[in-house]
Amino acid sequence: MCGIIGYVGTRDCVPLLISGLKRMEYRGYDSSGIAIINDDKIHIYKKKGKIEELEKGLLQNPHSATIGIGHTRWATHGAPTEVNAHPHTSFSGDVAVIHNGIIENYSELKQALLLKNHTFRSDTDTEILAHLIEEFYEGDLQKAVIRALHRVEGTYGIAVLHAGEPDKIVVARKGSPLVIGIGDGEYFVASDLAAMVEYTRDVIFLEDGEVGTISREGLTHTTLEETRIDRKSTHIDFSLDQIEKGGYKHFMLKEIMEQPHTLEDTMRGRIQVDEGNIILGGLQGHLDALKKAEHILLLACGTSYHSALVGRYLIEEWARIPVQVEYASEFRYRNPLIEKNTIAFAISQSGETFDTLEAMREARKRGALCLGIVNTVGSTIARETDGGIYLHAGPEIGVASTKAFTSQVTVLTMLGVLLGRQRGMSAEEGRNILGDLRKMPDLVARILRTKDDLLDIAKTFSRASNFLYLARGPNYPVALEGALKLKEISYIHAEGYPAAEMKHGPIALIDRKMPVVFIATNDNVYAKVLTNIEEVRSREGVVIAVASEEDKGIEHLADHVLRIPDCHPMLMPLLTVIPLQLLSYYVADILGLDVDKPRNLAKSVTVE
């Protein structure tokens, strides 16, 4: 989603702002801009399209300043045009605002301001906020911002400048992440740690309903009721080289190739293979509640929803607890029943997914113990849940999630074993599962060494108009995920189905122009999947099979075979997803598309 960066200190802030905006490109955007204060005047520079366009304009008209704010916009209110790009200014031009989120009552506020002879240039809700702050300004920017925000309904992460206070940035947050970075005589603000990690690792996360004013003299941190807050900073561990491409053409390919290491990091210190046990430090205070749990609720969106579907198979199989998997965006708006002893897990790579956060809050209101499964330390879900599990997958920059999915499935596997061991799973079964889980980094590495085999298949099918992905059991969610990856980055229509459901509609689509991807691994439904393959072949469909290395018979049924090693049948999703990630990547790259920043998508969806 949109990105915010701000700086006040002694450096020339223009290159710093541009650098920060570039580090947030992966979040998705359609325009960018900066505002700086120089000679007690606010100067605005903004462009539609890539940040390079903004950078070119600044090179042609160079400016320097030691205070400024920058923004990448993903259009919500108003088309992606230069006039709608942020920053937005007030009627006089003395106030500049950048904003992530949505002002829900902007129309009502706009009408009130029109009656006071304000005129507006853009179609955005953000411009109303700039005018509202100016309306309340009486010499103290922080007080004006607070008064304005008391009138606002909706979500926001904002940074505000005023020409009359040329050494201050006022920031505030409600529902949209903001973090303040602390340097030596300088301060930063950003919506994403990646934007500032080059300059500082010491940060303060703003909570909802909090306001901060940063200047060269320091930080003033209060609530919207102006109660002073004294919060210690947090030191962030990840480094700049973790968010660089490392020689790969795209972040997505880098992150696919990192998975042997990220799986290792996700498991590190948590598995006791000899005892068949799992230790999850973030759940240690809730072991009694987990043991008494009668229902598990998994709340997620997109790729995280698919990992949750895999988790349902694992937890129900090993722990015999009913598991309900919900699209977070739908859960919030029906009148959900939360039964006694329900534990809800909010699953989100970023930890900022708005629908998942709100669904978690709704589950808590209705009596569930809420825990989190997130990748981003210090994220809102991580802070608001009662406990949880970090993925430790490192920063994921590519919009299409890859390594976060496999880390989520790994965490859910460990959670399934933990719950199973509480409920009668034998130590021997635990050892067998965890022994195979420990092999996953090596098995994934074996698949990745054959990645070039995918290239020829991708070339063959890169011009297909439609794909169908079919699987059964725990691999069915992988079929959904494989189809989603192809849609996200190649813009080819693809659908995932349980293989048996093919006969209930999709079979009508099958012809020689329709590639059908089957996941056909050695498990208890293997024979059933082979029957489904025969049904496709009889209608001249083209079959691409993900199958075991030892399965020689599949070659007589499939036109193309993607080989994976054998492992415990319930752990297969960690392997079967890898060739599907690579297939999607290669197809998109062959088509010459922007793999890391697919159109209309954002990495962290922080609005409804």
DSSP for 14-82 reads: HHHHHHHHHHTGGG--SEEEEEEEETTEEEEEEEES-HHHHHHHHHHS----SEEEEEEE--SSS-S-T
Percent of the chain at pLDDT above 90? Answer: 69
Specify if 603 maps to a domain: no
* Shared domain check, 469 and 364: no
Specify if 446 maps to a domain: no
* Shared domain check, 260 and 213: no
Specify if 448 maps to a domain: no
Nearest Cα neighbor of 1 from 23, 33, 26, 27 is 27
Give CA–CA dist 456/165, Å, rounded: 60
Q: Is the pLDDT of residue 61 over 90?
A: no
- What pLDDT, on a 0 to 100 scale, did the predictor assign at position 96? 97
On the CB side of 71, how many CA atoms lie within 13 Å of its CA?
32
Specify if 404 maps to a domain: yes
Report which of residues 424 and 511 the model is more confident about. Answer: 424
- What pLDDT, on a 0 to 100 scale, did the predictor assign at position 602? 64
Q: What is the pTM of this model?
A: 0.73
The residue from 394, 412, 438 where one domain ends is: 438
* Shared domain check, 212 and 260: no
pLDDT tens sequence across 198-224: 899 899 999 889 999 999 989 999 999
- The band of 28, judged by pLDDT with boundaries at 50, 70 and 90, is low
* Shared domain check, 347 and 230: no
The H or E element containing residue 326 is strand 323-327
* Shared domain check, 297 and 369: yes
Specify if 445 maps to a domain: no
Residues in CB range of 608: below 8 A, 6 or more apart: 102, 329, 354, 355
What average pLDDT does the chain have?
Answer: 91
Instruction: Report CA-CA distances (Å) from 241 to 82, 234, 237, 245.
Output: 33, 20, 12, 8
Rounded to 5°, angle at Cα 573 from 570 and 578: 150
Rounded to 5°, angle at Cα 114 from 111 and 116: 120
The helix/strand/coil state of 480 is helix
Tokens of 173: 């947050």
Gap between the terminal Cα atoms of the chain: 11
Task: For residue 155, give its domain range.
Answer: 3-236
Specify if 428 maps to a domain: yes
* Shared domain check, 530 and 496: yes
Q: Is the pLDDT of residue 394 over 90?
A: no
* Shared domain check, 413 and 465: no
Residues in CB range of 11: below 8 A, 6 or more apart: 66, 186
Mean pLDDT to the nearest integer, 19-38 = 85
* Shared domain check, 145 and 247: no
The residue from 438, 465, 496 where one domain ends is: 438
- What pLDDT, on a 0 to 100 scale, did the predictor assign at position 350? 87
* Shared domain check, 295 and 208: no
The residue from 438, 469, 491 where one domain ends is: 438
Q: Annotated catalytic sites, by residue?
A: 2, 603
* Shared domain check, 532 and 468: yes
- Give the residue carrying structure tokens 């029943």: 337
- What pLDDT, on a 0 to 100 scale, did the predictor assign at position 380? 87
- The band of 473, judged by pLDDT with boundaries at 50, 70 and 90, is very high
* Shared domain check, 407 and 289: yes
* Shared domain check, 347 and 275: yes
Nearest Cα neighbor of 328 from 378, 363, 295 is 363
- The band of 513, judged by pLDDT with boundaries at 50, 70 and 90, is confident
